[in-house]
């Protein structure tokens, strides 16, 4: 059985905005632009570029969002952020 905060689908909806669907049915849009401000390590620096950011996908094993360079974000934190917007 999957955890409620695991991500089922992700859709890039422009800029640094994503529409996330979680296994518990929660759907929400997050603007992650502020996550990529200031100093960043080598995994997250490329995500400042919107065209690279748009390559986001769901990792079938981790059930969170990932990028081709291995960057990922914690699904439980993303779930909490979406919940706080509803």
Rounded distance between C-alpha atoms, residue 15 and residue 4, angstroms: 27
Contact, 20 vs 78, CB < 8 A?
yes
Q: Give the pTM.
A: 0.92
Tens-digit pLDDT profile for residues 59-78: 999 999 999 999 999 999 99
Sign of the C-alpha dihedral computed for residues 65, 8, 29 and 57 taken in this order: positive
Query: Which domain CATH number covers 31?
Result: 3.30.2020.10
Two tokens, residue 25: 């049915």
- Domain containing 53 equals 7-75
Tens-digit pLDDT profile for residues 17-39: 999 999 999 999 999 999 888 88
Which residues partner with 65 through β-bridges? 58
In a domain, 82, yes or no: no
Q: How many domains does the chain have?
A: 1
In a domain, 2, yes or no: no
In a domain, 83, yes or no: no
In a domain, 12, yes or no: yes
How many other CB atoms are there within 10 angstroms of residue 5's CB atom? 20
């Amino acid at each position: 059985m999957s955890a409620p905060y695991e991500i089922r689908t992700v859709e890039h909806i422009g800029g640094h905005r994503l529409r996330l669907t979680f296994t518990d049915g929660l759907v929400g849009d997050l603007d992650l632009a502020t996550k990529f401000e200031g100093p960043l390590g080598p995994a997250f620096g490329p995500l400042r570029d919107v065209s690279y950011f748009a390559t986001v996908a769901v990792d079938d094993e981790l059930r969170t969002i990932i990028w081709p360079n291995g960057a990922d974000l914690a699904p439980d934190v993303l779930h909490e952020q979406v919940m706080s917007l509803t």
